[in-house]
Structure 1
Amino acid sequence: MSKRSAVDELLQRIADEFDSLPRQLQGVATYLEQQRANIMVQRVNEVADGSGVHPSAVVRFAQRFGYSGFSQMQAVFRSTYTEATTPARSYQQRIRKVIADGAEPISPAQMALRFIDASRVGLDELAGELDATQFEAAVELLAKAENIYVVAVRRTFGIASYIAYALQHTQKRVHLVSGLGGMFREQIRSIGPGDAMIAISFPPYGKETLYCARVAHQHKAKVLAVTDSALGPLARDAQAVLKVNEGSAFAFRGLTSTICLCQALFVALAYRLELKVEETSHPGEYDD
């Protein structure tokens, strides 16, 4: 059954205390979030250089959150990311590890139930941690947009494709940034003020998605980030952030919670837009 990783829990604690941290420690916090998949292989001096602080500040940061020093905190990242997000681990390698770690063969039905349980836990977490204020801001951002651009790559591309399809059922002009032929730059060059971008990405973050979000921000468009943390690199240029922590089984992360959140976003937006249509179609109907 899935649960939040130790890194997720640590980063949530950091996020909760971020505003109260000294400026130097805020720099360390931001760097840890941005480089979360790489911290396990970095030395304390590298983390300090990336954070723009002295190595002693990195040690103080670790101690602030209950660790004896950097090495003990680093072990949390190493334990999580060697199993979950190391890019070198191919799908075949993960399957082989499942076989090697199993005390006995797992039936197809047992695998299915494990994934269903992981998805159920992820949905429970999504329901319990949904930020109503951010969700409302996301709907309002999209409702005001003239054009909506949607971008995601690799495992989350299917979700981007779905939400672009769903949004086509509104009166909005919708653009799926697919990068076909490597043309990410060309597909988003017309984005500008009055437009919005939905960017979806999780660690290790897709560089193409991060690039598109930066361009949208530079062109004065609004960015809605669907990601795992408000401190992450995708959230940096976003006006609204919808956080999702997916359940996982057999070292494979699910997509159930993310697709559910995106479906809810579309329905809420369609409802908001239809209300506006009704108000325009029947002016004064409910006036005293």
Structure 2
Amino acid sequence: MQHLLLDGATPPKLRTMDLMHQIAEKLPQLGSAEQRLAEYVRTNPHAMAFVSARTLAAQAGVSPATVVRFFPRLGYASYAEAQQQLQSALAAQYEAPHQRLADEARAAHGPQSASLQALEQDLRNLAALSDMLQSPRFAQLLTWLSTCQGRVAVVGGRYSQGPAQLLAAQLSIALPTEFVDPMGAATDRLQDYGAQDLVLCLSVRRYLRSTQQLARWLREQQVRLVALTDDAMAPLALVSDLTLVLPTRGATMFDSYAAFTALGNALVGELSLSRRDAVARRAATREQLDALQHLYPDKQPYGTA
């Protein structure tokens, strides 16, 4: 299970979302006791957030000394620092959009200030995304998509439904892709998915239980699963083969999905090169279908019947 975090330039201290990332990166280098502790923290972040190091050791079945040594190996000064950052990350998970209104009300407002702030935040999110496009994990996702011998589906419901539908439409330019709402009857389309197939699941706060349950079932069917989410501690991240964490922070009470849209554009651009012949054939077929729908009238100017 691999994780990729997008949160802008890394400051001297680790960011709040980096705990799960550091665990995923360091896991192969850890001893047996530390691996046991890492797995416990990864699957029980809430348990670690508010207990002492000695209590955490008892819960994970390791010695207190293991806990003391473990977090500096991940890049933290101490267990207390890691715990404080985890608490901040968990608090952000449960922050409701209306809770941001008080901060917005205190902020200075000029002409179109909200629009400009939203654009500036989107640009920061896109700047964070640009680093990911150079990463080995993005390359791995591209490899999975370009070499997939089976079917591809994009799953997303409620707050994630819009970005998921758009991503499915974007990917369908390059390869057969379908959108599935985890809360609808369309989940029946996944009943025959198996090891040759690939499913991308989108899940942002508030996380849907139906998405996670469907993801768990897909893993049981040996389906390769990619999570696109906003937090490394999101439930979906714990059951996926590959997790990409994208920035969704908006300048107002509403989240931003600019990074999700740009990610889809980047994937299609790369797939158009790696699957050039297949994409050309799909484009030609789309042109034929567009002609049937009179989107491109033959020898008739636009606007004529």
TM-score, normalization: structure 1? 0.73
Q: Structure 2 CA distance, aligned partners of 1:152 and 1:108?
A: 36
Structure 2 residue 10 is the aligned partner of structure 1 residue 7: no
- 1:142-168 superposed Cα distances (whole Å, 9 cap, x missing partner): 232432121123332211111122334
Structure 2 residue 133 is the aligned partner of structure 1 residue 125: no
Aligned to 1:285: none
Structure 2 residue 214 is the aligned partner of structure 1 residue 212: yes
Q: Is the CA contact (8 Å cut-off) linking 1:39 and 1:74 kept in structure 2?
A: yes
Equivalent AA in structure 2 for residue 134 of structure 1: R
1:109 to 112, 120, 127: 112
1:201 to 190, 203, 212: 203
Report the secondary structure of 1:224's partner residue: strand
Q: State the percentage of identical aligned residues.
A: 22
Aligned to 2:96: 90
Aligned-pair CA distance for 1:239: 4.6
Aligned-pair CA distance for 1:198: 0.9
Aligned-pair CA distance for 1:218: 1.8
Equivalent AA in structure 2 for residue 85 of structure 1: Q
Structure 1 unaligned regions, length at least 5: 280-288
Equivalent AA in structure 2 for residue 249 of structure 1: A
Q: Is the CA contact (8 Å cut-off) linking 1:30 and 1:231 kept in structure 2?
A: no
Q: Is the CA contact (8 Å cut-off) linking 2:155 and 2:202 kept in structure 1?
A: yes
Aligned to 2:194: 192
Report the secondary structure of 1:164's partner residue: helix
Q: Is the CA contact (8 Å cut-off) linking 1:151 and 1:198 kept in structure 2?
A: yes
- 1:171-192 superposed Cα distances (whole Å, 9 cap, x missing partner): 51x33221345x5764532222
Q: Structure 1 CA distance, aligned partners of 2:59 and 2:248?
A: 28
Structure 2 residue 170 is the aligned partner of structure 1 residue 166: yes
Q: Is the CA contact (8 Å cut-off) linking 2:224 and 2:241 kept in structure 1?
A: yes
1:135–1:6 Cα change, 3 Å: closer
Aligned to 1:76: 85
Equivalent AA in structure 2 for residue 98 of structure 1: E
Aligned to 1:286: none
Structure 2 residue 151 is the aligned partner of structure 1 residue 150: no
Q: Which moved more, 1:207-216 or 1:35-44?
A: 35-44
Q: How many residues were matched structurally? A: 269
Q: Which moved more, 1:113-122 or 1:139-148?
A: 139-148
Q: Is the CA contact (8 Å cut-off) linking 2:159 and 2:204 kept in structure 1?
A: no
Q: Structure 1 CA distance, aligned partners of 2:260 and 2:279?
A: 29
Aligned-pair CA distance for 1:98: 3.2
Report the secondary structure of 2:199's partner residue: strand
Aligned-pair CA distance for 1:232: 6.8
Aligned to 1:267: 269
Q: Is the CA contact (8 Å cut-off) linking 1:184 and 1:212 kept in structure 2?
A: no
TM-score, normalization: structure 2? 0.70
Aligned-pair RMSD on alpha carbons?
3.6
Q: Structure 1 CA distance, aligned partners of 2:243 and 2:280?
A: 29
Structure 2 unaligned regions, length at least 5: 1-6, 282-305
Q: Structure 2 CA distance, aligned partners of 1:249 and 1:35?
A: 31
Aligned to 1:177: 180
